[in-house]
Amino acid sequence: MTSTLVLGGARSGKSRFAESLAAGFKGARIYIATAETMDGEMAERIARHRSDRGSGWTTFEAPVALAEAVREGTLEGKFVLIDCVTVWLGNLMHHGIDHDPHVDALCDVVKVSKGRLVIVSNEVGQGIVPDNPMARRFRDIQGMTNQQLAPRRTRWCS
C-alpha cells in the first residue's frame, strides 16, 4: 500500500495534481467525492470536477461516511483518490456530527488500505487567525486531522 497526502491552499490545483498521480495506472480508478450539492455554485463545482477528470473513474459519493467508502474502494490493485478531507470535515460540522470517531475511523482505514491511496486536504493554518470561534475550531480540527492522516509511510505533497 502506498498513500500520498496532497496538501495546499484553496484553489491551488490539489485535485488536478492528485488526479495526475493516476497517469499510467493500469488498475481501476476510484474517486471518492465528499462534496454535497447544497446550492447552485457547489453544483457547478461538482460538475466541473467531474468533467475535468473525464472518464475512467468510478465515483463514490461520501459526504459523511468517508471511512466506509475508503474501506469499500481500497482493494488491492486500485487507485483511490479522496477529494477532499476539508469538505468532508465541513460536512460533519454542518450536520452537527462529532468528528472524532469519524476521523479515527478514517485513519484506521488508511493505515490498512491496500492499493494506491491519494488523499486531498487543504492547508488552512498558514493564513490569518479566523475572527470567530467556529472558524478557529474548524481550522484546529482540520490541522489535527491532517496530522493524523500522515502516518510514517505516507508521502507528503504540498
The residues annotated with a catalytic role in the active site are 49
Residue type, 98: D
Distance CA 153, CA 74 (A): 16
Secondary-structure percent of the chain, ordered helix, strand, coil, rounded to 5: 45, 20, 35
What is the layout of strands, in order, in the sheet containing 154-157?
58-61, 28-33, 78-83, 116-122, 2-8, 154-157
The candidate with the shortest Cα–Cα distance to 15, out of 51, 40, 43, is 51
Paired with 60 in beta bridges are 32
